[in-house]
Structure 1
Amino acid sequence: MSNLDNLVAEILQQAQKEANRILTKTKAENLEFTEKENKKIQREVDVIEQKSKEEAISLKERILSNANLKSRDMILQAKEELVNEVLSRVLERLKKIDSDSYLNFVGNTLKSLNISKNAKVILTKEMKEVAGDEVFGYKVSDDTVESGCSIKDGNVIYNNEFSNLLEFNKEDLEREILKKIFG
Structure 2
Amino acid sequence: MSNLDNIIQTILQDAEAESEKILNEAENNKNKYISEIEKQARERKEEIISKANEEAEQLVEKTTNNANLKARDSLLIAKQDVISKIIDIVKEKLKNIDDKSYTDILLKTIKSSNIGDDVEIMVQENRVDIVKSLGLKNKISDKYVESGFSILEGNSVLNNDFSSLVDYMKDDLESYIAEKLFSE
- With the length of structure 2 as denominator, give the TM-score of the two structures: 0.80
**8 A contact 1:91–1:162 mirrored in 2:** yes
Q: Indicate the residue corresponding to 2:82 in structure 1.
A: 82
Aligned-partner SS, 1:147: coil
Q: Which amino acid aligns with 1:88?
A: D
- 5+ residue gaps, structure 1, are none
Contact in 2 for aligned 1:147/1:163 (Cα 8 Å) = yes
Q: Do the aligned partners of 1:133 and 1:140 also contact (CA within 8 Å) in 2?
A: no
Residue identity in the other structure for 2:159: N
2:143 aligned counterpart, secondary structure: strand
Alpha-carbon spacing, 1:178–1:39, altered in 2? closer, same or farther (3 Å): same
Report the secondary structure of 2:12's partner residue: helix
What are the within-5 Å matches in structure 2 for residues 18-33 of structure 1? 18-33=18-33
Matched, 1:39 2:39: yes
Q: CA RMSD in A?
A: 2.8
Deviation of 1:128 (Å): 2.5
1:4 aligns with 2:4: yes
Query: 1:25-174 residue pairs with structure 2 within 5 A?
Result: 25-110=25-110, 118-132=118-132, 138-174=138-174
Cα deviation, 1:18-71, whole Å, max 9, x if unaligned, reads 112211211121122212322333343334333432332333233222222221
CA gap of 1:172–1:112, structure 2 versus 1, over 3 A, is farther
Partner residue, 2:180? 180
Check 1:85–1:11 CA distance in 2 against 1; reply closer, same or farther (3 A cut). same
Q: 5+ residue gaps in structure 2?
A: none
1-structure distance, mates of 2:20, 2:57: 54
Aligned residues: 183
Q: Does the C-alpha gap of structure 1 residues 46 and 91 become closer, same or farther in structure 2, counting only changes over 3 Å?
A: same
Offset of 1:164 from its aligned partner? 1.6
Identity of aligned residues (%): 37
Deviation at 1:112, TM superposition (A): 6.0
Classify the secondary structure of the residue corresponding to 1:24: helix
C-alpha contact (below 8 Å) 1:134/1:140 kept by paired residues = no
